[in-house]
A and B are shown apart, each in its own frame.
Chain A
Amino acid sequence: MSQTKTVDHATASKMAHAHPNPAAHGDGHDHGTRRSYLTGFALAAILTAIPFWLVMGGVIEDKLVTTLLIMAFGMAQILVHMIYFLHMNTKSEGGWTFMAAMFTIIIIVIALSGSLWVMYHLNTNMMPGHNMDPATLLQ
């Protein structure tokens, strides 16, 4: 039942790709199955529980390692949500949802890394006292 549905969607999007068939213009969205939702939920629950456990239990001494680990788990969970809950793939809507998401991710990476990088250097280099050693200033 659900399998035939997926196949129908796949053929529909393929037809929309090959020639502009008016019938295939509908939603090229994949709805997922009970199984895919439950798989996604199980993965998301695990990927949420581990970082909370790492921080609340103080499992790893090194804070930098813990920070990097929970960031990795967060990214993995975002990916799980996009695939299993938002049903992202490279084919739905003729690939346009995927393209839009990729574009957004690029902008986000530039905005985040750019802001953090620039502001960090501004903070450290413009901080009063950085190049103003009282001993040298008095001379």
Chain B
Amino acid sequence: MSATPTTTADAPEFYELTEHHHAPHGSTAIGFWLYLMSDCLIFATLFAVYGVLGGNYAAGPSPAHLFDLKLVALSTTALLLSSITYGFAMLNMDEDKKERTLFWLGLTGLLGAVFLALTLYEFYHMIHEGAVPQRSAFLSAFFVLVGTHALHVAFGILWLGVLMVQVAQHGIHASNRIRVQCLSMFWHFLDVIWIGVFTVVYLMGMLR
């Protein structure tokens, strides 16, 4: 007789039955953020490993013998500077200045390369001295933690190069914009991880 509640026009609607429009790349930023958070957990476990094993030298070299804080200060400066240059690239991209965006991105990549070169030099130097990953638990944990970070930076530089080609060839359009924005998050995230590395591994290592 009477209409059921589901058919009345003024009944509240609980479900979205129609497909509504999503802006392209509307969820890319949050998705990439979630990836970064999971990456953060990888580094958390590596830090935990280093925290547990960092004191087991097996009669081998200790941090005070191996680390050169001047070198670490230099690489930290390079990475910190690359964060601000990437920031300037983002600001120029927001103003649609293609050439300037490319300039700042290039400078960021260069600083990243300096950081990577310093890390590789340190690794080479340590291995040359016999401080290889299999020497002690401390060195295994050190090479895995710092190596994983360096690997991230290396892939970041590769990604940066690819994006620079994209922007140079196709200009700043919506897709490139979100790509550069994602790499921005990745790059700043790596700098955050590096804060943990230089504090826990290098500075606290010298105090042991």
Residues of A within 8 A of B (CB): 5, 20, 22-23, 25-29, 31-34, 37-38, 40-41, 44-45, 48, 51-52, 55-56, 63, 66-67, 70-71, 73-74, 77-78, 81-82, 85-86, 93, 96-97, 100-101, 103-104, 107-108, 111-112, 115-116, 119-120
Contact = CB atoms under 8 A, between A and B. Distances in A.
Contact of B181 (A23, A27, A37, A108): A27
A34 B49 CA distance: 39
Interface of B: 16, 20-23, 25-26, 28-30, 33-34, 37, 40-41, 44-45, 47-49, 51-52, 69-70, 73, 76-77, 80, 83-84, 87-88, 90-91, 94, 178, 181, 185, 188-189, 191-192, 195-196, 198-200, 203-204, 206-207
24 contacts: A27-B26, A28-B29, A29-B181, A31-B90, A37-B87, A55-B69, A56-B69, A56-B73, A66-B207, A67-B204, A67-B207, A73-B199, A74-B200, A81-B188, A82-B192, A93-B29, A93-B30, A93-B33, A111-B45, A112-B47, A112-B51, A115-B51, A116-B52, A119-B52
Which 4 A-B residue pairs are closest in the complex by CB-CB distance?
A74-B199, A115-B48, A37-B87, A85-B188
A120 B51 CA distance: 10
A45 B80 contact: yes
A37 B91 contact: yes
A81 B48 contact: no
A52 B90 contact: no
Chain B contact residues: helix, strand, loop or mixed: helix
